[in-house]
């Protein structure tokens, strides 16, 4: 989402990049609000102020936009999560770093994530069908599996643990965003304590 390359760009290029960005951000907001299925290309394009046809100058379909958003999330989150994974001295530190990075990420993009919705709209409990969610889910699960496989953590059920940790963090993250003020530290503290507090109690897996 950030234009890291600082080359002189003509107005046209700038506009094009800005439009692409605007569509991505609008899509992120709309998917967050409505979920993938309920979101329409119109909902997204309307938010950008662009014309309907313009959407198709950038993405061939809603599906492709979803992929682009996933890629975007991956590009921005993966290095952070990878860094946590590689530098954390132990499982505890990894979980802490990953959860905090994730919550910070969510909070940073909060204004697009949590755009004001029409009141009276059915409020879904949660929209997992969001590109960021999809990416995070797979990324973190793989890390947790790896940690367990490496033996850094007592042999517990890796899939259960990863699923539980992610589900938990996702939910708390969303709640965090709904509260004022947004308290990253508090949410991180809560989520990490829940996850790490639970692990020692887990049944050991017989190999």
Partner DNA sequence: GATGAATGAGATTTCATTCAT
Partner DNA sequence: TATGAATGAAATCTCATTCAT
CB of 37 to a copy of itself, least distance (A): 3
Tokens of 147: 């940690």
CB of 22 to a copy of itself, least distance (A): 23
In the complex with DNA, which residue's Cβ is closer, 40 or 108? 40
Select the binding partner of residue 51 from DNA, a copy of itself, none (C-beta < 5 to 8 A, by kind). DNA
Measure Cα distances from 181 to 83, 119, 175 in Å: 28, 21, 12
In the complex with a copy of itself, which residue's Cβ is closer, 36 or 85? 36
Following CA atoms 175, 176, 179, 180 in sequence, which dihedral angle do they give, to the nearest 10 degrees?
Answer: -170
In the complex with a copy of itself, which residue's Cβ is closer, 101 or 164? 164
Q: Is 55 exposed, middle or buried (0-12, 13-18, 19+ CB in 10 A)?
A: buried
Which residues make up the interface to a copy of itself (CB under 8 A)?
A: 35-38, 63, 122, 124-129, 133-134, 137, 157, 159-161, 163-164, 166-168, 170-172, 174-175, 186-187, 189-191, 193-203
Which residues make up the interface to DNA (CB under 7 A)?
A: 10-12, 15-16, 19, 39-42, 49-58, 60-63
Select the binding partner of residue 189 from a copy of itself, DNA, none (C-beta < 5 to 8 A, by kind). a copy of itself
CB of 98 to DNA, least distance (A): 34
Select the binding partner of residue 1 from a copy of itself, DNA, none (C-beta < 5 to 8 A, by kind). none
Contacts of 162 (CB under 8 A, 6+ apart): 140, 141, 144, 145
CB of 14 to DNA, least distance (A): 9
CB of 138 to DNA, least distance (A): 24
Select the binding partner of residue 206 from DNA, a copy of itself, none (C-beta < 5 to 8 A, by kind). none
Instruction: Find, among 132, 156, 135, the residue nearest to 144 by Cα.
Output: 156
């Amino acid at each position: 989402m950030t234009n890291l390359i600082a080359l002189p760009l003509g107005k046209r290029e700038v506009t094009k990049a800005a439009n692409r960005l605007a569509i991505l951000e609008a899509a992120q907001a709309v998917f967050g609000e409505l979920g993938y299925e309920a979101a329409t290309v119109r909902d997204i394009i309307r938010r950008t102020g662009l014309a309907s046809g313009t959407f198709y100058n950038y993405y061939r379909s809603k599906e492709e936009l979803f992929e682009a958003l996933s890629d975007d999330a991956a590009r921005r989150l993966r290095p952070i999560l990878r860094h946590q994974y590689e530098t954390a001295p132990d499982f505890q530190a990894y979980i802490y770093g990953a959860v905090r990075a994730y919550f910070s990420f969510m909070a940073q993009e909060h204004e697009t994530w949590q755009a004001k919705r029409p009141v009276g709209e059915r409020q879904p409990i949660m929209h997992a069908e969001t590109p960021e969610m999809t990416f995070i889910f797979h990324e973190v699960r793989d890390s947790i599996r790896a940690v367990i496989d490496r033996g850094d953590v007592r042999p517990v059920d890796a899939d259960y643990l990863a699923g539980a940790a992610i589900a938990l963090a996702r939910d708390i993250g969303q709640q965090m965003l709904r509260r004022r003020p947004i308290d990253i530290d508090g949410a991180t503290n809560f989520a990490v304590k829940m996850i790490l507090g639970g692990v020692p109690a887990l049944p050991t897996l017989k190999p």
